[in-house]
Structure 1
């Protein structure tokens, strides 16, 4: 049984979804890039999701977003479904697009965590040995310098989407928002921190490639691989599935965050046990989404503190 997840309005997340069996269906070509940006723009506007970072790797997709309205599951369901259907048409692909494992959703609880994870997302093509520098990646992505002041635009793809349906507008715009803890006065320093962290991660990737005697594939070759091939690089089994991150050297933040998660889960389970024996006036902890949405359960507005 999966652990209950707290869905809080205004929370910021790192989201990762993988392609089935590591196929390269998101190979960085113009058609798939347009499809991904367009669907993300429409989906995020529909559900009030603020997008901070994006990087579409050939075999998986990374996002850093803020869920302003507390509807993240609805957004993910809609976004992933339309991406899958569009990709099946575009790639002439039969069968599932997404891996059977659940989407990785990691809540980012500190500024340090947001900086590190955005840099991780944008430097991912370098860490994977595909390009020497993040800016060279040709897939759907965000540049650190554009966070909070830029936007991505895409025309409605011809694959799958019906032009007569009014939700599929001709041109969709995806604003690149600042995370909620960053304002206009601190935006420039924030972007500089992200850029510095990207550079640090690039240097680590270069050193690792040199240690192993490997060469970077390069953007041109990365864009020409067959989308029906599979990634062959070693990937460790994903034994851990973190639900939150605080970043490095954050003192007591890790302990406090872990205690808050335990408190939410304990309160949720206690309420669920009462619900199961017929107590319908039981109150679930703040952030309970499934029981409120699908069963009409009462949920407190008071956030648990530890």
Structure 2
């Protein structure tokens, strides 16, 4: 059985979902980019999520979002389903689109974690040796300068989405919000710090490219590769699936967060055991999602501190 996940209103997350067997189905051409931005905009508006960063790689998607209303599982189910169905139409693809691994959902608990993970998302194309600078990536993405003041626009794609269905407007906008950990009057400082982190990652990626002796693929070539090919670069097996991040050199914050996760899981297991024994009056810990939405179980209002 998988570990229970605490879903808390107002939490910020980095989300990653991978394509089956590393096929290049999200090759960054105009059609898939339009579809991804439009679908994300509809999904975020539907569930009230704030979007801070995204980067659509050819083999996976990265998002950094804040779940204002505590409905992240519903958002992911809707968004990933529409992306998969639309991709099957656009690519004339039979079978599954998504990898069988669980979606990676990492809660960002500190300002340092927000900066580091947004930089990680934006720098992905550079780290993969596809472009020299993050801003050059032709796929769906966010630039540092847009966070907190930019808006992405997309018209309704002609593929898959029914124009007669009112849930698919002709035009959609996607505001790029500041993470709640960043005060509005400190937005410029946050963007400068984030830009410096991106530059640091770019320098490391360039050094690694030189060490391995290969050239960047380039934006134009990346947008023209066959979407039916598979990535061939080495990728370590995903033996870890972290649930939270606190950033570098945040040992005390990590220990506090880890203790809170353990406490939630213990409390959840105890409540679940009593529920399975027939005690329908049992109260699950705050943040319990599935038992509340699927079975109507009672959930505590007291959130464990992190």
Cα-to-partner distance string for 1:123-143 (whole Å, 9 max, x where unaligned)? 000000000000000000001
2:275 aligns to what? Answer: 275
1:58 aligns to what? Answer: 58
Secondary structure of the 1:85 match is: helix
Secondary structure of the 2:251 match is: coil
> CA offset at residue 182 of structure 1?
1.2
Cα-to-partner distance string for 1:51-95 (whole Å, 9 max, x where unaligned)? 000000000000000000000000000000000010000111110
Q: Does 1:110 find its partner at 2:110?
A: yes
Distance 2:77 2:37 in 1: 16
1:133 aligns to what? Answer: 133
Write out aligned runs for 1:40-55 (5 A).
40-55=40-55
1:8 aligns to what? Answer: 8
Cα-to-partner distance string for 1:249-269 (whole Å, 9 max, x where unaligned)? 113001001000000000000
1:21 aligns to what? Answer: 21
Distance 2:70 2:51 in 1: 14
> CA offset at residue 304 of structure 1?
2.0
> CA offset at residue 8 of structure 1?
0.2
TM-score of the pair, normalised by structure 2: 0.99
Question: RMSD over aligned Cα, in angstroms?
Answer: 0.7
Distance 2:220 2:51 in 1: 27
Write out aligned runs for 1:225-264 (5 A).
225-264=225-264
1:170 aligns to what? Answer: 170
1:142 aligns to what? Answer: 142
Q: Does 1:160 find its partner at 2:160?
A: yes
Distance 2:63 2:195 in 1: 17
Secondary structure of the 1:17 match is: strand
Write out aligned runs for 1:79-118 (5 A).
79-118=79-118
TM-score of the pair, normalised by structure 1: 0.99
Distance 1:89 1:245 in 2: 36
> CA offset at residue 305 of structure 1?
3.6
Secondary structure of the 1:186 match is: helix
2:192 aligns to what? Answer: 192
Distance 1:214 1:242 in 2: 31
Secondary structure of the 1:185 match is: helix
> CA offset at residue 122 of structure 1?
0.3
Distance 1:69 1:232 in 2: 40
Flag structure 1 segments of 5+ consecutive residues without an equivalent. none
Secondary structure of the 2:185 match is: coil
Flag structure 2 segments of 5+ consecutive residues without an equivalent. none
Distance 1:248 1:76 in 2: 28
Cα-to-partner distance string for 1:246-292 (whole Å, 9 max, x where unaligned)? 00011300100100000000000000000000001100000000000
2:219 aligns to what? Answer: 219
Runs ≥4 in structure 1, deviation > 3 angstroms? none
